[in-house]
Structure 1
């Protein structure tokens, strides 16, 4: 009889342990601009906690495991080019599935592309680096022929999602005006040109 009692007690302890281990947050991080995963690495930190945090996968998904049930957690989510943002999540006794939309502050987007095109100040945006690549004579001829400028942000570019929206709209406008021939002559480091 004692053995049955001990086995039952052990089973109960294991069930309680498994139940508490199931408290987690499963999240998906998307860009508010594109409704897709931001084109950057995404870091999730659990504030005011000893939890180590995590990194989202290639789809923007992440898991935070071994959390306390019925507790409010403050998550800090950061991605290159996006302002760091904080989100509150309250756990239950199981798995909390959450969607997090990151807001970007875009100086360049599709509307800015339309405005620049109308004002005859369009640009082809480059991601750049600490030491930007200078225009060659061929690049200067391209700029003159197509009335557009290459624009390199150097080491402080905005969110890649902003660059994508701007450049893709400029590509559409260039195709409408010049056909697709210009694509063969453009610099290869122009972002999002397929």
Structure 2
């Protein structure tokens, strides 16, 4: 008898991501994941309690793909938060079929950890502690909401004002991929500029 192929949690998640990336959620099943790994579906229960736990780990894996932006220079925390949000949005949109999965099974414990790190950074840049959670939660919701709209093909109902594209590209330090991305950056910048922190900048 041949030796049964060994599988790991990481291998299961990788197979699930590949299947959903390619075929969408309608193509996802425990049987297909197991087949991709050369095992039978019941073997997956040695690593995961159920389908939901696999999807939760898939969502976590996608979130963790997001690269970190270097800490901001003095007075540049707003542009840093925009850049961080844009990197997360881009990560999500590299996996458009998985955006609803991340939305539904977002790893809350990871989000709390990131909020704590980002709160420390905002505090170091003089942002009042009373505003940290508001700013981070608003940016997070705007980011995920924008990714959901783009991934599901929901078109924007407004056009960017003339000159908006060039300004957004210059301020983010990268060439934006499409009008939805430019709109997202401009919306987030407008929000952050309008928040009254009681400071001169």
Instruction: Calculate the TM-score normalised by the size of structure 2.
Output: 0.25
Q: Name the structure where strand makes up a greater proportion of residues.
A: 1
Q: Which structure is larger by alpha-carbon Rg, 1 or 2?
A: 1
> Which structure shows the higher helix fraction?
2
TM-score under structure 1 length normalisation: 0.26
